[in-house]
């Protein structure tokens, strides 16, 4: 019986994908293990949001013993797919001829192609719509990596996870699979498998859509994930019910622009009704797709967590326009005002890109101004770097010195540290709910609150019986930068 482990890199969506891969392989008779040492097969579920993310994969490949097979999936390989060969029936615009724009394979009995480069070269137009590409379908990337690391055995799209049994048979594995093959990987429910990046198993990540049509100038995601597809409400609610029946307490709805789903409000309301749910979150939303009704739910529905992560990216109109974000700085301020007008306090976090091409000192000052106004609890900062294939890479010279980008990050960090400390001081005396994510060797309890703040409970007789995955009420006793301290109310 083959043993496998998965190294997951990147965002929450990748962790949800990994859980689906594990589910299919378990049903093929493979056994998941925790470490590379135990495994016969090491699977990389990759990220491509930055070049650094892809460099991590090649770095980690050096650490894998050559007697272990390596499979690679995820965003890194998907934006390298040469789909004019695999999807020969598609008439694609020039800028979409490389990337994950094949969509869903229509048949449930496709032909697996790409085991050899000749197999891809000899494809005919009559093959359209019946193909699932592996390995050499991702050339030159597969060729280049497999020449250097001879133990690389398989490249496959996450979208094609449901066809893994057919791929494994093509590779010569003996497979027993007692489930129906599926051409829609989102319908695979990873029952009883931790689908989150948390140490505990009480959180389930549920994709409600995949892909993105926004094509922000800097972003590789549409090329890696493909065009936007929304999943049915019934499918999403059914998966949530299964996870809750297996002991999950926190549901996180996922999408590249999660609140763009035309039935998003319905999904939120239906999941909130489900028995066993304690917390509901969603990520990542977009400011222009928020409704007043959705914001009102944050005020009235206690299970809808008091935290909104909204990736503004910049506070400058000039930069936002060049990024193709589709909203203005004024709309950011209006959105923040709407959140702050709710009777329930909401924690706001964001993403900011520093040093985007053409960002002047005045533009950067506008981002600092937005930060001061919004009083973000956390900012996930990214120093801009070119992503080949994106509009920005083709059209915007990356002329801002690296030193300037780092200076801007340091300056923004200084403001964020001060605001975080001030915000968290205001939490002292408040009563909140937390979930236990880790217990240290010294017995300290680490976790996060309903408003998504890291919290520590110092070891004491009151914490002696706490376990990973428990939800419990706490009183905040101390606030500091990016962290709270508290005591259990048991």
pLDDT in single tens digits along all 490 residues of the chain = 899 999 999 999 999 999 999 999 999 999 999 999 999 999 999 998 877 888 889 899 999 999 999 999 999 988 877 655 555 545 656 666 667 766 677 777 888 988 998 888 887 655 556 788 899 988 889 999 999 999 999 999 999 999 999 999 999 998 888 777 888 888 999 988 999 989 899 999 999 999 999 999 999 999 889 899 999 999 999 999 999 999 999 999 999 999 999 999 999 999 999 999 999 999 999 999 999 999 999 999 999 999 999 999 999 999 999 999 999 999 999 999 999 999 999 999 999 999 999 999 999 999 999 999 999 999 999 999 988 889 999 999 999 999 999 999 999 999 999 999 999 999 999 999 999 999 999 999 999 999 999 999 999 999 999 999 999 999 999 999 999 999 999 8
pLDDT tens-digit series, residues 198-236: 989 999 999 999 999 999 999 999 988 989 999 999 999
Characterize the bridge pairing of strands 152-155 and 41-46.
Answer: unpaired
CA dihedral 185, 189, 190, 196 (to 10 degrees): 80
Q: Which two tokens stand for residue 255?
A: 């999408």
How far is 165 from 183, CA to CA, in rounded Å?
12
Non-local (6+) Cβ contacts of 342 within 8 A are 295, 296, 298, 299
- Report whether the peptide linkage leading into residue 51 is cis, meaning its omega lies within 30 degrees of zero: no
CATH architecture entry for 187-425: Alpha-Beta Horseshoe (3.80)
For residue 184, what pLDDT is reported?
Answer: 84
The sign of the dihedral angle between the CA atoms of 334, 340, 341, 342 is positive
Non-local (6+) Cβ contacts of 105 within 8 A are 129, 130, 131, 132, 160, 163, 183
Sketch the domain layout of the chain as residue ranges: 3-185, 187-425, 431-488
pLDDT tens-digit series, residues 53-109: 888 898 999 999 999 999 999 999 888 776 555 555 456 566 666 677 666 777 778
CATH 2.40.160.40 for domain 431-488, yes or no, is no
Q: How many CB atoms lie within 10 A of CB 432?
A: 19
393-418 in b/e form (b: 16+ CB < 10 A) is beebebebeeeebeebbeebeebbee
Non-local (6+) Cβ contacts of 335 within 8 A are 287, 290, 310
Residue 288 C-alpha from the chain's centroid: 20
For residue 131, what pLDDT is reported?
Answer: 82
For residue 82, what pLDDT is reported?
Answer: 63
- Fold match, 187-425 / 431-488: no
Whole-model pTM over 0.85: yes
How far is 182 from 163, CA to CA, in rounded Å?
7
For residue 126, what pLDDT is reported?
Answer: 57
Give CA separation, 394 vs 138, 217, 360, 386, 388, in Å.
Answer: 22, 9, 20, 9, 8
Which DSSP string do the residues of 229-245 spell out, in sequence order?
A: EEPPHHHHHHHHHHHHH
Q: How many CB atoms lie within 10 A of CB 467?
A: 9
């Amino acid at each position: 019986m083959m043993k496998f482990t998965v190294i997951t890199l990147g965002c929450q969506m990748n962790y949800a994908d990994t859980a689906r891969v594990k589910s299919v392989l378990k049903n093929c008779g493979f056994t998941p293990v925790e470490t590379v040492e135990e495994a016969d097969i090491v699977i990389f579920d990759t990220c491509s949001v930055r070049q650094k993310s892809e460099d991590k994969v090649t770095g980690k490949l050096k650490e894998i013993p050559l007697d272990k097979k390596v499979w690679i999936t995820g965003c890194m390989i998907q934006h390298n797919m040469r789909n004019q060969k695999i999807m020969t029936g598609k008439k694609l615009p020039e800028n979409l001829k490389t990337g994950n724009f094949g969509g869903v394979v229509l048949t449930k009995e496709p032909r697996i192609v790409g085991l050899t480069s000749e197999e891809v070269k000899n494809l005919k137009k009559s093959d359209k719509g019946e193909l699932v590409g592996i390995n050499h379908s991702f050339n030159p990337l597969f060729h280049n990596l497999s020449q250097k690391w001879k133990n690389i055995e398989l490249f496959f799209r996450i979208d094609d996870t449901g066809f893994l049994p057919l791929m494994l048979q093509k590779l010569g594995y003996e497979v027993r699979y007692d489930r129906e093959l599926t051409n829609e990987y989102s319908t695979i429910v990873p029952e009883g498998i931790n689908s989150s990046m948390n140490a505990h198993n009480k959180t389930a990540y549920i994709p409600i859509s995949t892909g993105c049509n926004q094509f922000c100038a800097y972003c590789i995601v549409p090329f890696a994930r493909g065009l936007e597809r929304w999943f049915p409400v019934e499918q999403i609610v059914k998966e949530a019910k299964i996870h809750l029946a297996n002991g999950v307490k926190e549901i996180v709805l996922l999408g590249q622009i999660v609140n763009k789903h035309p039935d998003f409000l319905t999904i939120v309301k239906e999941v909130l009704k489900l028995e066993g749910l304690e917390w509901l979150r969603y990520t990542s939303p977009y400011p222009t797709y928020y409704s007043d009704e959705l914001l009102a739910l944050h005020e009235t529905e206690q299970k809808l967590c008091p935290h909104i992560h909204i990736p503004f990216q910049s506070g400058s109109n000039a930069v936002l326009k060049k990024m193709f974000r589709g909203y203005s700085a004024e709309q950011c301020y209006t959105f923040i005002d709407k959140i702050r007008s709710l009777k329930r306090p909401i924690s706001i976090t964001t993403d900011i890109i520093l040093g985007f091409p053409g960002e002047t000192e005045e533009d950067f000052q506008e981002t600092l101004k937005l930060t001061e106004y919004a009083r973000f609890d956390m900012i996930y900062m990214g120093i801009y770097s070119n992503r080949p294939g994106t509009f920005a890479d083709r059209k915007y010279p990356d002329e801002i010195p690296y030193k300037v980008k780092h200076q801007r990050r340091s300056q923004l960090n200084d403001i964020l540290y001060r605001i975080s400390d001030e915000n968290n001081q205001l939490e002292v005396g408040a009563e909140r709910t937390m979930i236990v994510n880790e217990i240290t060797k010294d017995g300290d309890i680490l976790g996060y609150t309903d408003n998504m703040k890291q919290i520590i409970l110092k070891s004491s007789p009151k914490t002696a019986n706490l376990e990973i995955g428990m939800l419990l009420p706490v009183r905040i006793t101390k606030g500091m930068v990016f962290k709270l301290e508290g005591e259990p109310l048991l």
